Amino acid sequence: MRTKRIFAAAALAGALLTSLPLLAEPLTATPAPAPTSATVTPNLMGQLSLFSPAAMLAQSAAPAQTASKVSAGNGAALGDDEDADGDGMPDSGVSAVAALANDTSDLRKTLIGMAMQLRDIRYVRGGHDPSTGFDCSGFVRYVFAHAVGLELPTNSASQFVAGLNVNRGDMKPGDLVFFRTAGKRGQGRVSHVGIYIANGQFIHSPSRGKTVRVDSLDQSYWAQRFAGAKRPGALARS
């Protein structure tokens, strides 16, 4: 009798042990605790790993490549001109703009009209487009190319050599005026150019920190550095 009781007790204990996993199953459905920073970080890293490193590098490199292209394309090809030295240079241009004479040719009027539309565009060394800015020769080249379809040389020194000599008293709207702004005052090489308007006034892109504007040849800064006037071939008979 006693032996039977022992076997019965053992059987009951075995049944309880085998039922424990079933009792424990509901415990696994208990909501997980709120995520902490320790659990979020691995998840974020897993999401970031889905992005392509090559694509991300290409995107980050694109602006740098664009800037490099502008610098190389503008600066190397067009950036021979130096900034005006700024010593005594007026901070602003003339307040009134000279009117063109009635006998000014349509070609010259078109040139001046295009140039005047570009006022207030900032100076950028090597710049040759209104979207990025102009240096002096880039401004002149843009005006002639878009107003009359004439391609001028790439910097002020080569534009000076290519043009036809014009006496100061014979200048007409659209002629080019040149200055020696590098080196000793009035003694350096030709390094700046503008477009003559009328009545001693010219329009140009002066120097860093300034914008396209109209100045007077009679202002002491420009008078001391004036190198001469030239007439591009396309204007020779105009």
Confirm whether 136 is a catalytic residue. yes
- Establish whether 192 is a catalytic residue: yes
Those residues with Cβ within 8 angstroms of residue 17's Cβ, 6 or more apart along the chain or in another chain: none
Which of these is catalytic: 78, 89, 111, 136?
136
Spot the catalytic one: 128, 192, 210, 225. Answer: 192
* Closest listed residue to residue 82, CA positions, set 194, 213, 207, 184: 207
Catalytic member of 204, 210, 213, 225 = 204
Token couple for 150: 């004439």
Residues noted as catalytic: 136, 192, 204
